[in-house]
Amino acid sequence: MIAIIDYGAGNMKSLQFALNRKGMECCVTTEKKQILNSTAMILPGVGAFQDAMTTLKQKDLINTIKDETTKGKPLLGICLGMQLFYETSEEDGEWEGFGLLKGKVSRINYTVKVPHIGWNTLHMQRSSSICQNIPNNAFVYYVHSYAVKEYAYNSLVASTAYGGTIPAIVQQDHIIGMQFHPEKSGNVGLQLLANFGEMIS
């Protein structure tokens, strides 16, 4: 069972539907017991960095998620969920994230229209099982105004170009982040979710 952690980020139904289409059992939860008993965790993402961290703190879930990740449980972050993995974000101030990955989240370059909404590519930077059967420059669906700007290069799996290089998929062992929305990205997104499922089967 995959625990989709509910911190008021919305868009849960389409993610549940996409996972179920690939035969992956999941539940939307804020219950520690369900998270502890899960085989993997997903942090979905729509909204503001500060609001997300505040809600997770109020629900007393930050240490639970970090502890389970430290034990080796697979964790997938989607859009804002991926950004929460990092040390800090500059969205409306400076806020502390989970610190699971080294780096900082900053606003997308002012030379392009913000937010970045719509289909853009996945330019593969290194091989990873999360990208199995995904062609280079496949299109996926993005909706975001902030992106990871400082990061460990060896964690970068795929990038996209929008006012500069934006990390699209990052991975450090069993921690995986996707800046785009796989549940809105057609067959490519479904394949990526299925690949995540293979990690935990």
CB atoms closer than 10 angstroms to residue 25: 11
Query: For residues 64 and 165, is the Cβ–Cβ distance under 8 A?
Result: no
Query: For residues 64 and 36, is the Cβ–Cβ distance under 8 A?
Result: yes
* Residue in 44, 103, 35, 96 with CA at minimum distance from that of residue 69: 35
Catalytic residue flag (residue 27): no
Catalytic residue flag (residue 183): yes
Handedness of CA 35, 46, 171, 183 (dihedral sign): positive
Query: For residues 160 and 166, is the Cβ–Cβ distance under 8 A?
Result: yes
Of 91, 131, 144, 183, the active-site residue reads 183
CA angle 142-104-173, nearest 5°? 75
Of 68, 116, 131, 181, the active-site residue reads 181
Residue that is written with structure tokens 């935990």 in the block = 200
Catalytic residue flag (residue 131): no
Of 79, 91, 131, 144, the active-site residue reads 79
| Residues labelled catalytic | 79, 181, 183
